[in-house]
Amino acid sequence: MTPGFPGFAPEFPGVTLERIQSWLPTIVTAAVVLGAVIVALVVVSRLLRRLAPRVHWYLFGFPLLRTRMRRSWRHLCLNADLTGTDRPTTEQLGPLLVRGRPIMPVLPLLRRIRPRSFGATAVILLHPGQVPEPFVNAAEAMAHAWGVHAVRVDARRRGRVRLTILTADPLTAKRTEAATWATGPPLKEAAMTSRPSEAIEPLASAVAVPADLAADVGQREDGQRWVVDLVTFPHWLITGATQSGKSTLINAAVARWAARPVALVGIDCKGGMELAPHAPRLSALATDRAEAADILAALVAETQRRMGLCRQHGARNIWQLPPDARPVPVVVIVDELAELYLVASRADKDEALRATTNLLRLAQLGAALGVHVIVAGQRVGSDFGPGVTALRAQLAGRICLRVNDEETVKMTLGDLYPDAVDAAQQIDPAVKGIAVTTADEAGWIRARSVYLSPEELAAVIAATAHLAPRLPGLTPPDA
């Protein structure tokens, strides 16, 4: 009979009450130590989260996220139909061919979960026969399962999809709201600084290389700088409802280009109100459609002259021309596209046709000849006429700020990035300047422009006004 309390029968042979009693101090000490460690970890975690969020993320947040991802992966794949199979789904049963669902589905491999400052990245290896589409559709399900702000799925590499996991929305953070012109790291030496006069290159000595055309205009949600690069995408379409942040974005880009050896031309058929602050740095400014048609015609003629120049030197683009023969790049900014297309009378029709045809020709011919088009508008629709889809096809760079109608979102993003349409429709109207934009390596991404106050913009324009090049056939606005 085992000594101890009546009725107590230890389940494990050899474990007696005396033994348990002798272990008790050790068990209590271990529990106290464990409790103290847990409390200390919670305190350290809370302190770090407040004082050093990045350290907190690497030490606590990321390991927790990775555990959650691994633990939920099976359920997620089963519920969102992301599984594959390594067996045939069709078998012969007597004279019949039977098709069925595999009982033992095979999970795609979730690999390379790596911490990043914005969250994490991971790679999913697809099984033969799997396509990326279900993974793109399951992005929302992944975000819910892992308790993160968003999951972006990039499916451009064969056999795998890359996940970008964003733990929070960096674009709506208060510190982004207060972003200033000087905070972003300069893109390259020629980039603008907070003291514009320091960044100005003398036009004569500057060597025009394509890289000069990248304008750092804000921050992307993955923490990288948002760059509108006319080398990667020669022409851009920007859509945004009133007060969504179009002018702010254009101001940021113009301020960057203003310090470079670049000619800026404004087409602002709303009486020149929007682009007036840039006027001193512009090589030409159209304030109505008749002027726009003339300026665009002159630019088409300039494009044809450049074509002849390239032919003469055996060059395929202006960057292959010798530096002394190379013409200055031209960036044509069209604010409010609808004003170019809308017609009320017969006379309007001819004028609109002349302006829009020349704009389309510039977009078709300009890329290699250093003539770039940035087209902005509150909305873009098929009601503008057949020319608008032809123009859109040339504008490979897309930026969609908050817009009021679905058609404009689809016109801006739907043809190139169908999965970006939802993201653009969810832009919070309360936070200005947020956009869904073309991103070279990531397909599309959310980003927010830097806010440049009218005084800062005026300072940049005043300091760079003398750099405005003269273009053949065009008169600068202040001349």
Ligand X SMILES: Nc1ncnc2c1ncn2[C@@H]1O[C@H](COP(=O)(O)OP(=O)(O)OP(=O)(O)O)[C@@H](O)[C@H]1O
Any known ligand binding at 7?
Answer: no
Determine if 247 is a binding residue for ligand X (CB under 6 A): yes
Choice from 256, 306, 392, 432 touching ligand X (CB under 6 A) = 432
* Minimum CB–partner distance for residue 402 and ligand X (Å): 9
Tell me the Cα Rg of the chain. Answer: 30
Region binding ligand X by CB under 6 A among candidate stretches 153-161, 226-234, 246-254, 292-300: 246-254
* Total site size for ligand X, rule CB under 6 A: 14
* Minimum CB–partner distance for residue 247 and ligand X (Å): 3
Residue 288 carries which side chain, given as an amino acid letter? Answer: D
Of 135, 265, 224, 262, nearest in space to 448 by CA? 224
Determine if 26 is a binding residue for ligand X (CB under 6 A): no
User: Restricting to residues 304-343, which ones interact with ligand X according to CB under 6 A?
Assistant: none
* Minimum CB–partner distance for residue 243 and ligand X (Å): 4
Distance of CA 158 to the CA centre of its chain: 22
* Minimum CB–partner distance for residue 406 and ligand X (Å): 18
Determine if 219 is a binding residue for ligand X (CB under 6 A): no
Region binding ligand X by CB under 6 A among candidate stretches 123-131, 194-202, 236-244, 281-289: 236-244
Region binding ligand X by CB under 6 A among candidate stretches 114-122, 235-243, 292-300, 351-359: 235-243
Any known ligand binding at 347?
Answer: no
Determine if 412 is a binding residue for ligand X (CB under 6 A): no
Strand ranges across the sheet with 109-116: 109-116, 119-125, 160-166, 150-154
Region binding ligand X by CB under 6 A among candidate stretches 192-200, 325-333, 410-418, 443-451: 443-451
Choice from 248, 303, 356, 408 touching ligand X (CB under 6 A) = 248
Region binding ligand X by CB under 6 A among candidate stretches 240-248, 261-269, 303-311, 408-416: 240-248
Handedness of CA 276, 277, 280, 281 (dihedral sign): negative
**C-beta of 208 vs 447, nearer to ligand X:** 447
* Minimum CB–partner distance for residue 437 and ligand X (Å): 13
Both tokens of residue 341? 């297309």
Binding mask 446-475 toward ligand X (x if CB under 6 A, else -) reads --xx-x------------------------
Any known ligand binding at 242?
Answer: yes
Any known ligand binding at 240?
Answer: yes
* Minimum CB–partner distance for residue 272 and ligand X (Å): 13
**C-beta of 307 vs 431, nearer to ligand X:** 431
Any known ligand binding at 246?
Answer: yes
Choice from 234, 240, 397, 477 touching ligand X (CB under 6 A) = 240
Determine if 184 is a binding residue for ligand X (CB under 6 A): no
**C-beta of 212 vs 335, nearer to ligand X:** 335
**C-beta of 246 vs 372, nearer to ligand X:** 246
Determine if 261 is a binding residue for ligand X (CB under 6 A): no
Nearest-CB residue for ligand X: 433
Determine if 220 is a binding residue for ligand X (CB under 6 A): no
Give the per-residue SS3 of the chain.
CCCCCCCCCCCCCCCCHHHHHHHHHHHHHHHHHHHHHHHHHHHHHHHHHHHCHHHHHHHHHHHHHHHHHHHHHHHHHHHCCCCECCCCCEEEECCEEEECCCCCCECCEEEEEEEECCEEEEEEECCCCCCCHHHHHCHHHHHHHHCCCEEEEECCCCCEEEEEEECCCCCCCHHHHCCCCCCCCCCCCCCCCCCHHHHCCCCCCCCCCHHHHEEEEEEECCCCEEEEECCCCCCEEEECCCCCCHHHHHHHHHHHHHCCCCEEEEEECCCCCCCHHHHHHEEEEECCHHHHHHHHHHHHHHHHHHHHHHHHHCCCCHHHCCCCCCCCCEEEEEECCHHHHCCCCHHHHHHHHHHHHHHHHHHHHCHHHCEEEEEEECCCCHHHCCHHHHHHHHCCEEEECCCCCHHHHHHHHHCCCCCHHHHHHCCCCCCCCEEEEEECCCEEEEEEECCCCHHHHHHHHHHHHHHCCCCCCCCCCCC
Determine if 170 is a binding residue for ligand X (CB under 6 A): no
**C-beta of 103 vs 178, nearer to ligand X:** 178
Any known ligand binding at 174?
Answer: no
Residue 353: Cβ within 10 Å count: 15
Any known ligand binding at 245?
Answer: yes
Determine if 234 is a binding residue for ligand X (CB under 6 A): no
5 φψ region: left (φ > 0), alpha (ψ -120 to 50), beta (else): beta
**C-beta of 246 vs 260, nearer to ligand X:** 246
**C-beta of 246 vs 398, nearer to ligand X:** 246
**C-beta of 73 vs 236, nearer to ligand X:** 236
Any known ligand binding at 199?
Answer: no
* Minimum CB–partner distance for residue 458 and ligand X (Å): 15
Q: How far apart are CA 266 and CA 262, in angstroms?
A: 13
Q: Contact, 156 vs 131, CB < 8 A? A: no
Q: Give the residue ranges of the annotated binding site.
A: 240-247
Q: Give the residue ranges of the annotated binding site for ATP.
A: 240-247
Positions in the binding site for ligand X (CB under 6 A): 177, 240, 242-248, 432-433, 448-449, 451
